[in-house]
Structures are given as structure tokens and as C-alpha cells.
Amino acid sequence: AQKVTQAQTEISVVEKEDVTLDCVYETRDTTYYLFWYKQPPSGELVFLIRRNSFDEQNEISGRYSWNFQKSTSSFNFTITASQVVDSAVYFCALSEEGDSSYKLIFGSGTRLLVRP
Amino acid sequence: DGGITQSPKYLFRKEGQNVTLSCEQNLNHDAMYWYRQDPGQGLRLIYYSQIVNDFQKGDIAEGYSVSREKKESFPLTVTSAQKNPTAFYLCASSKLDSGANVLTFGAGSRLTVL
């Protein structure tokens, strides 16, 4: 069965620290997609990144980077030099090409608090 | 700008009342979804629709109903049969050609049962 686990419920860091948010997934599909979304206090989910199961290249976008490892079924998210504006709930999610609903299966989220 | 509009943002309901949450999109997306968010539980799928006049149950459909009379609109009714309706409800939409499609979300509706 498909599942996404974000074991870190809440993380608190001081501004400028680096922080890594963990995501572990389970799927039987060979073609799948992994996503990260950010939910600021306003409530709306903001898309950050998508990776497909055939592309294990790590990606960097400014202070954000993602480490996808199929061998450990993980898709971790690192924020370098964190800022107060990074405070939010972050969700990892999975969709499977074999599921015609194309729904997203979400982890329980990690609340990140960046203190000044 | 294209996007998803959810209303109302906040809603209070007495026990035993049905309430309807509105979701409208102007992205020309075929698929629409309703998710429920509870603290510490992530988002769970209530209903989804891939075409007008058709919709499918998600993981927690009991106590909810939907309609899809227009491509742009996918309202959710929380009925009195829903035992614990207090939650944050998010509507989303996407294209319908691949699991790679990115879901676009609305700002959400927070329902509180008094």
C-alpha cells in the first residue's frame, strides 16, 4: 500500500541554521512522483518541487535542496541558512502513475519554526 | 490570474446542520479534489472528480457529498452525518494526463462545529 511518512512532527531552529526535513515513502508502482508543498500560516499549500521515480538527480533551488534516494525510499528536503519566512508546515506527497485518480497521498507534515 | 477560490474562509455550524463549501477554479483543469486537514494527520482525500457529472469517493467520504455540474465548480456539502466535521478543508485541481500533474490548492475553508 502507498504511504508517506514524515517522522518529524515539529522542528525548531535559529535563523541561519541549516535544517533537513525527512520524508520516507512506500509504493509498489514503478512510476511515481514525489512532491513537496509548503503551507504558510495563511493555509494555502504552495508547490515547491516534483521528482519522478526515474530521476534521482538531486536538485538545488536557491537555499532549498532535495535529496532523492530510491535505495532508501527517501526524498529529503534541506533548507540552508534558514530564515524566519521559512516558518511553515511542509508536506511531502506521493502520486502513482498506476492510480488513475492521480490523487496525492500526503505525509502528516513537519512544522518548521525558525526563530530570529 | 488563474487560481482556485474557496468560500467561506471561516464557517461556524451548529450540530445537525448541513453546510456547503464552495470551490471554483478558472484554470481549465479537468480534475478537482477535496481534502480534509486535521492537526497531525496531514491531508486526507474526501472526494474527487475527473469529469463533469461524475465523482468518486476518496478515503474518508462518509458524511460528505459533492456535485460537479460545471467544470469550474466542485462544491462540498458537510452533512449532519459527519461525526467530527470540525477541520480545515482544502480544494485542489489539476490537469488529468499524468500522475506528474501538480495540484493547485485553494486557500481553504475552516469549519467549526459549535
Enumerate the residues of chain B whose CB falls inside 8 A of the CB of residue A45: 90, 92, 103, 105
Contact residues, chain A, for B41 at CB < 8 Å:
108
pLDDT tens digits, residue range B8-17? 999 999 988 9
Is the distance from CB of A49 to CB of A59 less than 8 angstroms? yes
- Position with higher pLDDT, A36 vs A97: A36
pLDDT (mean) for B30-39: 95
* Contact criterion met (CB < 8 Å) for A101 and B104: no
* Burial of B86 from C-beta contacts in 10 A (0-12 / 13-18 / 19+): middle
pLDDT of residue B96: 84
Query: Is the pLDDT confidence value at A1 over 80?
Result: no
Q: What is the mean pLDDT of residues A87-99?
A: 94
Minimum distance, in Å, between the CA of residue A48 and any CA atom of chain B: 10
Terminal CA-CA length for chain B = 36
Q: What is the pLDDT of residues B45-103, one digit of tens each?
A: 999 999 999 999 999 999 999 999 999 999 999 998 888 999 999 999 999 877 788 99
Beta-carbon contacts below 8 Å between A and B: 68
Q: What is the mean pLDDT of residues B30-53?
A: 93
Residues of A with a Cβ under 8 Å from any B Cβ are 4, 6, 9, 31-33, 35, 37, 42-47, 50, 52, 91, 95-97, 99, 101-104, 106-109
Burial of B51 (0-12, 13-18, 19+ CB in 10 A): exposed
Please say whether the beta carbons of A91 and B43 come within 8 A: yes
Torsional class of A108: left (φ above 0), alpha (ψ -120 to 50), beta (otherwise) = alpha
* Among candidate residues A38, A70, A75, A102, the one with its CA nearest the CA of residue B100: A102
pLDDT, residue B39, reads 84
B107 and A44 in contact (C-beta within 8 Å)? yes
β-pairing, A64-69 with A59-61?
A: antiparallel
Asked if the C-beta of B87 comes within 8 angstroms of chain A's C-beta atoms, the answer is no
Least trusted range by pLDDT, from A24-33, A53-62, B46-55? A53-62
